[in-house]
Every structure is written in C-alpha cells, then in structure tokens.
Structure 1
Amino acid sequence: MDACRGENPVCAGVRNDVRRRCRLRVAELKLQVTALLGFLTFLGADAYDPLDPNGNITIRWDVVSWTPDGYVAVVTMNNFQMYRHIMSPGWTMGWTWAKKEVIWSMVGAQATEQGDCSKFKGNIPHCCKRTPAVVDLLPGVPYNQQIQNCCKGGVLSSWGQDPAGSVAGFQVSVGQAGTTNRTVRVPRNFTLMGPGPGYTCGPAKIVPSTTFLTPDRRRKTQALMTWNVTCTWSKFLASKNPTCCVSFSSFYNSTITPCPTCACGCENKRNCVRSDSKLLSTSGINRPRRDGVQLLQCTHHMCPVRVHWHVKLNYKEYWRVKIAITNFNFRTNYTQWTLVAQHPNLNNVTQVFSFDYKPLVPYQSINDTGMFYGIKFYNDLLMEAGPLGNVQSEVLLRKDQDTFTLKQGWAFPRKVYFNGEECMMPPPDLYPFLPNAAHVGARVALDCFASCALLVLLLVVL
C-alpha cells in the first residue's frame, strides 16, 4: 500500500479501476433497491381499493376472564368492506401461539384439527396445535354451543349490504397462557381465508380494553385485555385470472358483444363440463369445497360468472338498462352476491326494479359508482349453473342532458365488479354502435319536415 501513495501511473490506474467498480456496484444496489420498493408499492397499491378506501376485516380479541392456567376470550370479526363479503363455505381463521398454549374449549366455532394432545391425561383439550385453524359452526347447533354473532356457516356479509350480518364471533378458553396482562403473549401470524386466498393480516396490536354493556344495559364492564388484527384483501393474492366477465347488447344494434375468449383463463378448459353431461347427476357433485376448486360449464370465456349489460330503451328524459348475472359454476351458490358498476349516469338512478341498490361515493365530488345486490330471501342467492343459475333486474336512469349519448359506447359501464373482483370487459372497438342508417334517417326526416313546413307556409301566403 505504501508503494501506491505516490503519483505512480500504475497505482493511479488501480485506484481509478477500484473507484469505477465501486460506482458500478453502488448503481446496481440502487437499481435493486428501486425495484424492491416498486414491487412493494405495487403490492400496497393493489391492496388499496379506491372504491372502498377504508375497507378491511378487523379481528378483535377480548380477554374477559382469567382461569387457573390461562384466560377466556371473546373473538369478534367485523367486515368493514362495503361490497366484498365471505360466502359459503365460509371463513377460516388461523394464528400461531406465542408460547405453548392450548385451546381447552370453544363456543360458537371449532378448530379443524385437534393435534397431538397425548401429554394430557384425563381432561383433553379441544386443540393442541401450535397453529390452529378455526371455522364457524353451522346454523341450528344446540343453544349451549352458541354465542352472539356465531353459527352462520362462515358467511360474512359486507358492511354496505348488511351491517348486522357483517359480524362474526366465538368464545375460546385458552390454557398454558399466563394469568395476568404481563404474562399473556399475543398470538402471531394471523391468517384469514374465505373460500379461497386473498386476505393478508397485519400483526396483532394491543389496544385500549373494550367496554361492554351488561344485558340490562345499565352497567358497563371492561375487557381485561384487548388486541386487534387488521386484514386487507388483495387482488394479487386472490387469483391470477379474473373470475367474471362482461358482455353487452343494445336495442339499436342487433350485434351482441360477447365476453372475450378465455377471459378468465383457459386452464380449466379440459376439465369443464357440458350442461347436458351425465356427470352432473352424480351425488354430491354440487357440494362446494373449501379449497375453492371449481366445476365450470364449458364456455368460450371459461368464467364462473358472466354479467350482461343491455341498453333496453331510450325515452325522452330517461333511459333503461337490463342487467343479468349468470352463474356457470356447478359447484358454487353465490350467497349474498354483490355487483358494483362504474358509469357517469349512476348519479341519476331513478328506480331499480328487482335488486337493491346503494351508491358508493369514495370521493365527495364523484358519484359514478353504485352497488347492486339481491333482495333478502328473494334473489340474494345466485344458484349454481343450470336453469336457476341467473338473476336479473332493470334500472331506470334520468338522463344527464349535458353528457347523455348513445354514441361511442357511452351507455356501457366503465368497470364492473362481481363479489369484489373486477370483471374482464370487451375491447371498446367491439361495443354495439349506432348504425349509420339512424343518422341518415334522422336527417331525411328533418329535411322532409322542413319541406312540408315550407309548403304549408307558401299555401297560406298564396
């Protein structure tokens, strides 16, 4: 090193080469960091829903009493999403214990596996797994196994559709957990599954203890300890392909714009089933599966659900749209389905005939998005593929005279979401268009009217 402290040209070249390599290495590291930040931003942006910026599922864990070796807790799950819900076969909640906790008993839910409880003699725990998975009970269980908001078969309504049905709850007795606020450890790695993936849960955070009203509503009690977990939905985690598609038609053009070919991917094309297949008469073929495996009807688009938007009538001050939703999945009943559409004239919805409707206003200055959903006990259940596998309604909208037009596909929605997932739209150049004859006919009629008016005027003058 001492030999290279002078102005030796060889040493200067070595130093310059070292500097050049360092600069290249720094540049590579900057690129890697930028790419990583971009990927993380993409994931974060994907989890953020501009139509429902505050939507999430919050799990609240309230310790309500101590036991000789642990505690009893009431777990409450609130779905604060406006239009995304969890349908049958329901939610599955999981976590990892911080120590060697066990579940002695549960009310309103059950663990899917007991695990290895061989070290216990006499009283055997309900679950000894380090990573338990818990599911809701089915409706109709005995009263002594129920707790408030339990036993819905895991179905969790969206908050915008049914606030009362958007809450789930169960009670759990935890052993080997500590018996004070200082010795209890918060579980880690919470997970939430619907019929498939899509939700990511953050870490559990200790929050101020929840207060409760006694049954007579005259006295407040307080949880001994409370922690919250927030879970958000991400399209990136849910599925690589869309799960629905959109087709269009109109009264002014006989052309029907179908769903794009393989709109939802054609991976299942070999396993699809024709509507007249004898396989469909097999016992249990229509039973939904927790792994989300579908049984689809053979179509060119291979989507479980198709939404059809038909521009039906054009009045002087109003126009009318017919919406039809068809289920091509032989294995799934879509319970409490939701349909969200973006269109600039949805700010003037006058009447929806056989669906419920609620506007979604994510920003104060924009009201172009609305949620359609079934009327309870009437058409809120979209049956599996077959003769009954469709629901439909009509929508009457008042025209916005400044913007309304039937030209260039303006009458069709900009985006459509079914059950919270964005549907594949046809390319705009294939939308039904106004025929040229309509313009020519209008011009001829106008010329004829002007000629007749001129003739009548001449006759009056003469």
Structure 2
Amino acid sequence: MVFNKLAYPLAMAAFFAIVISQAGAYDPLDPTGNITIKWDVISWTADGYVAVVTMTNFQMYRHIMNPGWTLGWSWAKKEVIWSMVGAQATEQGDCSKFKGNVPHCCKRNPTVVDLLPGVPYNQQIANCCKGGVVSSWGQDPSAAVSSFQLSVGLSGTSNKTVKLPLNFTLLGPGLGYTCSQAKIVPSTVFLTPDGRRKTQALMTWNVTCTYSQILASRYPTCCVSVSSFYNSTITPCPTCSCGCQNNKTCISSDAQIRSVVGNNISTTTGGNKGSAIKCTNHMCPIRVHWHVKLNYKEYWRVKMTVTNFNYQMNYTQWTLVAQHPNLDNITQVFSFGYKPLVPYESINDTGMFYGLKFFNDILKEAGADGNVQSELILKKDMNTFTFKQGWAFPHKIYFNGDQCMMPAPDQYPYLPNSAISNLISSSTMASLLLLVFANLLLAI
C-alpha cells in the first residue's frame, strides 16, 4: 500500500480543528448550558403548516442583550413564510411569482428578529416582543424564553412530506453560537389555558446552539485587576488584555468623547463595538477589580467593582461569575443579587452576581456613573484560609458570559514577611501581654 504523505498532516489538522472547536464551545462552569430552539407544528394548512418556534436559554449566566437575537436558517425545499406573529423576517426577498396574496418572506435563507415591546396585541404571542432580549436561566427563568409563530407554505402537509430546515444560525451582540442540525424529537404536549386538557404538536424538532467565546470575539472583552489591604501594590489588568491601543478605536480626551458620543449615538444598543472605548493599557470595555478589604477573626471582606470603559454602551441585565474556593462559605452580599452555581455535585466554588432590578441592573456607559460595586463577607475555613500565594484572589472571572483576562499569579500583591497570615485573636494577644507583664513583675 502506498502511503500518502499528505494524509497524516491533513488527518492531524482535522483532529486538532475538532478539538479546538469543541474546547471553545465547552464551558466547565456551565457544562449543560445551551440555547434550545424548538419548532412545534401545531396545524396543517392548504400548502404547509403553522408552527410555534420557542427559543429557551438554558445557560446559567449568559444572556442575550439589546439589540437582541437574529435567527437564521435555510429551507430544505422552496418554502415561503406566508405570515408571522411575534417576529418578522428582515427581508422579504423576491416574491414576484406570487399574484394577489404575497408572502411575508420568499428568501431561501430567511433571517428573523423579535418584535419590539408595544406592538399591537394581534401581532403578539406569549413570550414574544422583547426586542430579542433573553435572560439567562440562572438569573430569571421566566424571562429566558422567546417565541414567535409562522405560517409556512410550499412545504408539504404531513409528517412525511415536510422537510426540516437546515443550517441554523444564532447571531446577536457579542454572540458566538454554533447550532446543530434540526432533529425530530417526541411531539410537545401542551395544556389548555384551564389546565384540564392536553393537546399535542403534530410534529416537533429541536436545534441546540452552544456558545464559543472564540467565535464571539477575537479578543477577550473584560479583564481583572486586584489589590489588598495588606499591600499597597495594585496589580492592574495585563497590558493589551483586549487588544492594544489604537488611535482609531480608543478615546483619550474629552474633545474626542464629545465628537464621538453625541445625540445621534444610542447608549443602549451599543453602536459600533470597540469604536468608543477609553484608551487604557488593557483596552477592555469592562474591568473587574477585586479588592481584599478587611480581615476579621472568623470572616474576611472583599470589595468588587465593575467599571465600563465603553462610551457608547450600556450593559443591561449584566452578570458576573466568580470562581473562588471560599464561595461555598459566602455569608452576605451587599448591593448585588447572588446565586451559587454548582456545575458539579462535589464542588461549590462558583457563584453568579447580578444587578438588582431598578437599582443597578444596568451598567451605564463610561463616565461618572459607569460602574457598579458590591462587598462580600465570607466565613473562613481555618483548614484552607490564607492570604499567602494569592489565595484570596479569584481563580476566574466571567462578565456577561465571557471569561476575563486575569493577571499572572506571581504578580498578585504579596503578603509582607512581617505580616502574620493567620492573625492572632484579640483575646490571645491580651493573654500574651498579661503573661509578659507578670514575668516583668516577678523579675522586679
């Protein structure tokens, strides 16, 4: 047998491509998180069917923010969308062959967006019309669902003649999702509004979309700096964490801010991401600062500050995930909501922080109000607690689902040699002073 010299390198390249893509999509802090798109055929029509499409975000801390999701696919045959409720196609396409009743969309690869709040009632269905904003499951399961209804024509009118759509895509601000092919699953069972009768979809298929930070952004979108009460050193974000300074994309003066951020810039939809970021050494839109603030006998205290350096973007329904071994003994959280994340039964070292509704759930654009803060009180586990070797600093930080760039551990503020990591309690110190004083008296 003649060995092809190219076979081995090509096989290895394919292998590593698969490994890298899977590694980018796998999140060890949310191993089962995904966005599932369910397509339920609820009735047949003269040339097709009516279906309800439901998008459910099962991710614990990654949400879809304003301006929302865009869902796309390719038709398997020559289907058209006759009408939609709760969403709309972004383009109608070429419908010139239709006379009289013209379809809503004739494109072979339609893209669909959610409707905005406040549309007429007859254009709505349940869980629609939120501008494409979808909460994470861990933050608010009731808001983690988005739905719309469509009437499909030229598709076949039975389970045997209908062909599943292909090549699903899920796009949006900072979204990097890869979607599986549609797969037929057991038909969904529905309850009537009074809860007394069950109905069943005529046909159901699912698509699963998983997140990859590599696809979402070329660079990280956040970084972490750290400091402590026992050392005056502040360890900044690593230089060029999210790219390096570029006069075309970063703002260094008040005059530039006034010229870029004007009345025509929407601070809720973001504008051109990265075009109005404050010039810093790290060049990240978001910086998270972790400060070890105080040490008590049985507890210790941390202050967290999240700062927005983007002059054109508000972060709505933001989330921050921290991984630290002492989070299993967190006692109190000020100003933020908190929920422990337990991706594995035996490990409880991860928690999600998020803003309180109508208080600080919107992280405003760069400026005086462009930060949110909280303090944490954690109970010490005397078997593991220490200030040595950077133990008091987080292992990982995620903001809005993206992993932040951390400083190197050897750059953390060190514990001075004169300091005692396990501080002596006041009662023990008093006993020692009394003993010394007694010895002095005896010596006299």
TM-score using structure 1 length: 0.89
1:250–1:156: structure 2 CA closer, same or farther, 3 Å change rule? same
Matched, 1:285 2:265: yes
* 1:392-451 deviation per Cα after TM superposition (whole angstroms, max 9, x unaligned): 1100000111111112211100111111111011122221122334359x99x9999868
Aligned to 1:43, the other structure's residue is in SS state helix
Residue in 1 that maps onto 2:250: 272
Q: How does 1:156-195 map to 2 (within 5 A)?
A: 156-195=134-173
* 1:248-293 deviation per Cα after TM superposition (whole angstroms, max 9, x unaligned): 1111122211111111012654321236232145222235358756
Aligned to 1:426, the other structure's residue is in SS state coil
Residue in 2 that maps onto 1:43: 21
Q: Which one of the candidate residues 387, 396, 402 is aligned to 1:421?
A: 402
* 1:17-59 deviation per Cα after TM superposition (whole angstroms, max 9, x unaligned): xx8xx35x36x52343133212212211221111111111000
Aligned to 1:170, the other structure's residue is in SS state strand
Matched, 1:150 2:128: yes
Residue ranges of structure 2 left out of the alignment (5+ in a row) = none
* 1:90-134 deviation per Cα after TM superposition (whole angstroms, max 9, x unaligned): 000000011111111111111111111112222221111111110
Contact kept, 8 Å, 1:349 with 1:397, in 2: the verdict is: yes
Residue in 1 that maps onto 2:367: 386
- Partners in 1 of 2:175 and 2:135 — Cα distance? 17
| Equivalent position amino acid for 2:281 in 1 | H
Contact kept, 8 Å, 2:234 with 2:413, in 1: the verdict is: yes
Matched, 1:453 2:435: yes
1:452–1:409: structure 2 CA closer, same or farther, 3 Å change rule? same
1:289–1:251: structure 2 CA closer, same or farther, 3 Å change rule? closer
| Equivalent position amino acid for 2:338 in 1 | Y
Aligned to 2:277, the other structure's residue is in SS state coil
- Partners in 2 of 1:139 and 1:192 — Cα distance? 21
* 1:120-151 deviation per Cα after TM superposition (whole angstroms, max 9, x unaligned): 22222111111111001111111111100001
Aligned to 2:122, the other structure's residue is in SS state helix
Matched, 1:346 2:327: yes
1:237–1:281: structure 2 CA closer, same or farther, 3 Å change rule? closer
Aligned to 1:54, the other structure's residue is in SS state coil
| Equivalent position amino acid for 1:453 in 2 | L
Residue in 1 that maps onto 2:339: 358
* 1:211-270 deviation per Cα after TM superposition (whole angstroms, max 9, x unaligned): 111111111111111111010011221112110000111111222111111110126543
1:448–1:257: structure 2 CA closer, same or farther, 3 Å change rule? same
1:267–1:177: structure 2 CA closer, same or farther, 3 Å change rule? farther
Aligned to 2:397, the other structure's residue is in SS state strand
1:373–1:226: structure 2 CA closer, same or farther, 3 Å change rule? same
Matched, 1:214 2:192: yes
Contact kept, 8 Å, 1:275 with 1:386, in 2: the verdict is: no
- Partners in 2 of 1:438 and 1:449 — Cα distance? 20
Give the number of the structure whose residues are more often helix, by fraction. Answer: 1
Residue in 2 that maps onto 1:376: 357
- Partners in 1 of 2:344 and 2:439 — Cα distance? 56
Larger Rg: 1
The alignment's C-alpha RMSD in Å is 2.4
- Partners in 1 of 2:53 and 2:159 — Cα distance? 17
- Partners in 2 of 1:286 and 1:306 — Cα distance? 22
Q: Which moves more between the two structures, 376-385 or 79-88?
A: 376-385
Note the C-alpha offset of 1:295: 2.3
Note the C-alpha offset of 1:194: 2.2
Note the C-alpha offset of 1:196: 3.4
Residue ranges of structure 1 left out of the alignment (5+ in a row) = 1-18
| Count of residues paired in the alignment | 438
- Partners in 2 of 1:405 and 1:216 — Cα distance? 58
Q: Which one of the candidate residues 197, 202, 207 is aligned to 1:229?
A: 207
Identity of aligned residues (%): 68
Q: How does 1:53-132 map to 2 (within 5 A)?
A: 53-132=31-110
TM-score using structure 2 length: 0.93
1:382–1:129: structure 2 CA closer, same or farther, 3 Å change rule? same
Note the C-alpha offset of 1:363: 1.4
